């Protein structure tokens, strides 16, 4: 893993501690190679800020969620999924890099055992302690979610980084419900929730063509990664870590480190919806990047 990242970006530009890399945990799902034969657009990736390309034709992302379409929370043994009624176009996104609207199916998170890692994507090799994924499918072109999963333009996933800071009031409603889905395969009703409360205020995003980060790993995802993280507090991350990978009656295994390792960028370009001063001033003002990393 450490050699891999060195080849990606070099440690000089990495903000993580190389020592911690050797201890970066790998979920059992990823301990033996699991690949898509000939895969060329796998996820997650490291987003190298200076290599992303500003695309002035990228539109603002438009989000329109109906809180009443929220159905339930399900511990699936890898994360917890907040699932929505996707039988009609009541909770949708469009704009951004998308050619038509996409319907919200579910959202979930990935997180670490400690705050030093947990996100799937990284920015300039920096991990965040957690990452939110809002999964949408192209119901204009495909009749079912299952069919959309198999197609290159089938899915659109919004990724939002979580950083340690103030308690997130919108997230707390969800956190309060988590003890009821502690064990694998438990489901509870969760009637009304508006996930747009989990969206950062800044409209800036990166976008690239990628894949699901859990099996079947199909290369069907238009990724939209928000530049600005949202803040959550330590107690809220700890509530995630109290969940279990295991069913009731099994030896308890904490649900932590449920992220896929980074995948090679290969022949892909990450586009940004925003102009990067970092790019223009990288040589002259090395401090500029730190400025921009602040929300």
CB atoms within 10 A of CB 247: 13
Contact call for residue 121 and Zn ion (CB under 5 A): no
**237 φ/ψ sector (left φ>0, alpha ψ -120 to 50, else beta):** alpha
Instruction: Single out the segment in contact with Zn ion by CB under 5 A; choices: 129-137, 217-225, 236-244, 279-287.
Output: 129-137
What's the min distance (Å) between Cβ of 13 and Zn ion? 26
Which C-beta is closer to Zn ion: that of 43 or that of 276? 43
How far is the C-alpha of 166 from the C-alpha of 40, rounded, in Å? 39
Contact call for residue 183 and Zn ion (CB under 5 A): no
Contact call for residue 136 and Zn ion (CB under 5 A): no
SS3 content of the chain, % helix, strand, coil (to 5): 20, 25, 55
Which C-beta is closer to Zn ion: that of 125 or that of 221? 221
Q: Which residue is nearest to Zn ion (CB)?
A: 133
Which C-beta is closer to Zn ion: that of 14 or that of 270? 270
Angstrom CA distances, 164 to 84, 116, 161, 182, 229, stand at 27, 10, 10, 23, 10
What's the min distance (Å) between Cβ of 272 and Zn ion? 21
Bridge pairing between strands 61-64 and 80-84: unpaired
Instruction: Single out the segment in contact with Zn ion by CB under 5 A; choices: 128-136, 144-152, 161-169, 195-203.
Output: 128-136
**Can you tell me which of 105, 133, 168, 227 binds Zn ion, judged by CB under 5 A?**
133
**What are the residues binding Zn ion (CB under 5 A)?**
133
């Amino acid at each position: 893993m450490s050699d891999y990242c060195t080849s990606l970006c070099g440690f000089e530009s990495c903000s993580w501690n190389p020592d911690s890399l050797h201890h970066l945990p790998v979920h059992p799902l990823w301990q033996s190679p699991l690949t898509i034969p000939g895969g060329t657009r796998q996820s997650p990736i490291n987003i190298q800020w200076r290599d992303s390309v500003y695309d002035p034709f990228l539109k603002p992302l438009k989000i329109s969620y109906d809180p009443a379409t929220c159905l339930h929370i399900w511990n699936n043994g890898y994360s917890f999924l907040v699932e929505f009624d996707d039988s009609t176009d009541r909770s949708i996104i469009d704009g951004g890099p998308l050619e038509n609207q996409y319907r919200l199916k579910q959202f979930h998170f990935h997180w670490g055992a400690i705050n030093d890692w947990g996100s799937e994507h990284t920015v300039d090799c920096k991990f965040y302690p957690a990452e939110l994924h809002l999964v949408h499918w192209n119901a204009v072109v495909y009749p079912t979610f299952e069919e959309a999963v198999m197609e290159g333009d089938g899915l659109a996933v919004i990724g939002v980084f979580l950083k340690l800071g103030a308690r997130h009031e919108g997230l707390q409603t969800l956190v309060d419900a988590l003890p009821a889905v502690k064990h694998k395969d438990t489901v509870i009703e969760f009637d009304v929730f508006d996930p747009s409360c989990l969206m950062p205020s800044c409209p800036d995003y990166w976008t690239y063509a990628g894949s699901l980060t859990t099996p079947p790993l199909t290369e069907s995802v238009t990724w939209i990664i928000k530049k600005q993280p949202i803040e959550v507090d330590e107690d809220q991350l700890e509530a995630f870590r109290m969940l279990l990978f295991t069913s009731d009656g099994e030896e308890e295994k904490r649900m932590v480190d449920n992220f896929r390792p980074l995948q090679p960028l290969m022949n892909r370009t990450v586009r940004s919806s925003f102009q990067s001063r970092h790019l223009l001033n990288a040589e002259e003002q090395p401090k500029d990047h730190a400025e921009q990393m602040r929300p």
